[in-house]
Amino acid sequence: MSNLTSPRETKLNAGHDYTAIINKEDNSSGATIIRYVTALITAATMSGSGHTLSANQLCISPEISRRARLKNSETRVLEEEDLQDLYNELSNLINASDEYYEDGKISNLAKMVEYIVLSSGDRSIRALQLVIDNANKAKSDAVAETVKWIGYMEDQKTLSSRVWLAADQLNNDSPWIRDAAALVLADLLLPYTKPLLLAALESETKQHIKHTLQYALDNLEL
């Protein structure tokens, strides 16, 4: 992957042109790039929604990392009082779930989370991101199940938020959750996710997840 210098303008065309200035130090692993491309993906999915984002709004500094977000996520929940109830409800569902999750079969957990998302829209996805940031590692299977089925939902109103959620989880510490995110993006096959898939493929260490990412990239070329 070619190096990105600071600053560099990157444009995505998805019905509209969105420009983001990415300030980034070189990272040979490619993992850090995911955080920056996620901002572009979010912008592109807003195409046709009436939203416009300026370059300054998409400016991301290299200091903003997953570790910093993990540290501050609880504070953000308390500050955003409108998310507190959703956060508690989603957190309780995931932590209490003790199902056996089967491929191709929607679980009770997924059904309940889907209902919350359909009822509360983008706010529930923001709350879910905070829940995932603070989730116990022992519940990685439940989180992965949630990410996977939320991604599979047919709901155009929350598409942007759900793509963003899946994209962010490609950098998760848990291979189960990364795999779920890769499956979601492979299923959606959105052309503007290609830079993100390429970055994830370069940094991924698990072969089965690499196969899923490559499958998505191959299908984007068809």
The whole model's pTM is what?
0.66
CA–centroid distance for 192 within its chain: 14
Q: Which residue do the tokens 């089965």 mark? A: 208
The answer to whether residue 56 scores a pLDDT higher than 70 is no
> Where along the chain do its domains lie?
8-220
Q: Model confidence over 101-138: pLDDT tens digits?
A: 988 888 999 999 999 999 999 999 999 999 999 888 88
pLDDT band at 212 (very low <50, low <70, confident <90, very high): very high
> Nearest Cα to 201, choosing from 188, 214, 192?
214
Q: Which of 69-78, 132-141, 155-164 shows the lowest per-residue confidence on average (mean pLDDT)?
A: 69-78
How long a stretch of residues is the chain?
222
Tokens of 132: 């995932």
Q: Which helix (H) or strand (E) holds 85?
A: helix 81-96
The answer to whether residue 89 scores a pLDDT higher than 50 is yes
Q: How far is Cα 64 from Cα 45, in angstroms, rounded to an integer?
A: 22
Helix boundaries (H) for 97-171: 108-120, 122-134, 140-152, 159-169
CB 24 within 8 A of CB 36: yes
> Nearest Cα to 118, choosing from 152, 164, 158?
158
CB 107 within 8 A of CB 94: no
Phi/psi of residue 155, nearest 5 degrees? -145, 100
Torsion of CA 169, 175, 181, 186, to 10 degrees: 140
Q: How far is Cα 13 from Cα 19, in angstroms, rounded to an integer?
A: 9
Tokens of 195: 């830079």
